[in-house]
């Protein structure tokens, strides 16, 4: 139960952070760790969007501390590093979050802030799914697990690239969809246009990869247990591309951008769960 709650809190934290960025509320609290010099700030919608992000972060961190303590007692060998790494990354996230505000939302630091948050989410997902893990029983490349881990790495990279596109102001570098300025490759390519085009091209690559992964689960013996999740990944990737089009055509309408991130995090979760399944099956068989 603690694991599911913690996963839900960090999922909400990521999506809420996207809403804060989409609503231009990142500097609603221009100071840190207080907000307008107060523990409880004065009411204004942008202030409370940013303040709410901090409250969710504090709640998620407390839940993670409880989960990490439990898993550190259950895990053995190298696996004990997982809860320690999660808590260490959260500490770094807190520092980066403060610097993001104090320095006025710098693009690179804001992007790394998102990437570190996504890594914490994945570690939380691992700890929520895996209860009793000894040394050498998880992160393996047998039984096709390495294929799923590779897909997860692709989705993570795409999410990080999307964060850069978002925070660098490249979201509308190509104001049309599916073309870019009326062409497949526009004549004028500046830094922002290249970033937006790269994000789009990588999305198509991930869609083809998801199709290949589904074929892998159908054709390779012993992979049928992941076929349903692989099909879900295909459908979610198609949905993600469609939502990305809506994000552009709507002029970065913040509910669409939040949905875009929520779908991306769900895709990443599915890829990670497919990677973990052989280990989880062994854990269940031995319990």
Average pLDDT value for the chain: 89
CA–CA gap between residue 212 and residue 201 (Å, rounded): 17
Write down which residue in 98, 114, 137 finishes a domain. Answer: 137
Write down which residue in 70, 105, 137 finishes a domain. Answer: 137
Do 245 and 259 belong to one domain? yes
Do 41 and 92 belong to one domain? yes
Do 73 and 155 belong to one domain? no
**Domains held by the chain: number:** 2
Do 54 and 170 belong to one domain? no
Confidence band of 222 (pLDDT split at 50, 70, 90): confident
46-95 pLDDT tens trace: 898 999 999 999 999 999 999 999 999 888 888 889 999 999 999 999 99
Do 128 and 266 belong to one domain? no
Which structural domain range is residue 196 located in?
Answer: 139-287
Do 10 and 131 belong to one domain? yes
- Please give the residue that has the higher pLDDT: either 187 or 75: 75
Do 276 and 179 belong to one domain? yes
Which pair of structure tokens corresponds to residue 27?
A: 């500097």
CA–CA gap between residue 76 and residue 82 (Å, rounded): 10
Do 237 and 151 belong to one domain? yes
254-276 pLDDT tens trace: 899 999 999 999 999 999 999 88
Do 226 and 88 belong to one domain? no
Write down which residue in 86, 108, 137 finishes a domain. Answer: 137
Q: Left (φ > 0), alpha (ψ -120 to 50) or beta: where does 77 sit?
A: left
Do 215 and 125 belong to one domain? no
Helices 45-74 & 81-102, crossing angle to 10 degrees?
160
CA–CA gap between residue 256 and residue 79 (Å, rounded): 38
pLDDT at 125 > cutoff 90: yes
Which pair of structure tokens corresponds to residue 23?
A: 């609503």
pTM score of the predicted model: 0.90
Give residues with Cβ within 8 angstroms of 269, minimum separation 6.
125
Neighbours of 108 (CB within 10 A): 10
Do 109 and 144 belong to one domain? no
Do 96 and 23 belong to one domain? yes
């Amino acid at each position: 139960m603690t694991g599911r709650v913690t996963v839900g809190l960090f999922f909400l934290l990521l999506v809420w952070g996207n809403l804060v960025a989409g609503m231009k509320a990142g500097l609603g609290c221009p100071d840190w760790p207080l907000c307008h010099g107060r523990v409880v700030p004065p009411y204004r919608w942008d202030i409370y969007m940013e303040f709410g992000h901090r409250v969710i972060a504090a709640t998620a961190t407390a839940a993670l501390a409880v989960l990490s303590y439990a898993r550190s007692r259950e895990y053995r060998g190298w696996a004990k590093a997982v809860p320690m790494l999660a808590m260490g990354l959260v500490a770094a996230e807190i520092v980066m979050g403060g610097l993001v505000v104090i320095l006025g939302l710098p693009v690179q630091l804001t992007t790394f802030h998102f990437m570190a948050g996504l890594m914490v989410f994945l570690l939380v997902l691992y700890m929520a799914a895996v209860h009793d893990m000894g040394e050498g029983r998880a992160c393996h490349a047998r039984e096709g697990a390495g294929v799923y881990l590779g897909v997860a790495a692709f989705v993570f990279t795409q999410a990080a690239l999307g964060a850069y596109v978002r925070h660098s102001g490249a979201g509308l570098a190509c104001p049309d969809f599916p073309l870019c300025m009326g062409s497949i490759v526009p004549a004028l390519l500046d830094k922002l246009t290249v970033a937006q085009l790269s994000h789009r091209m990588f999305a198509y690559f991930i869609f083809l990869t998801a199709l290949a992964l589904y074929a892998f689960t159908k054709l390779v013996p012993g992979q049928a247990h992941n076929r349903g999740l692989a099909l879900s990944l295909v459908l979610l990737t198609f949905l993600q591309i469609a939502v990305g089009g809506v994000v552009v055509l709507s002029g970065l309408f913040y509910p669409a951008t939040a949905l875009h991130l929520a779908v991306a995090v769900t895709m990443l979760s599915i890829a990670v769960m497919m990677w973990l399944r052989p280990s989880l099956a062994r854990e269940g068989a031995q319990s």
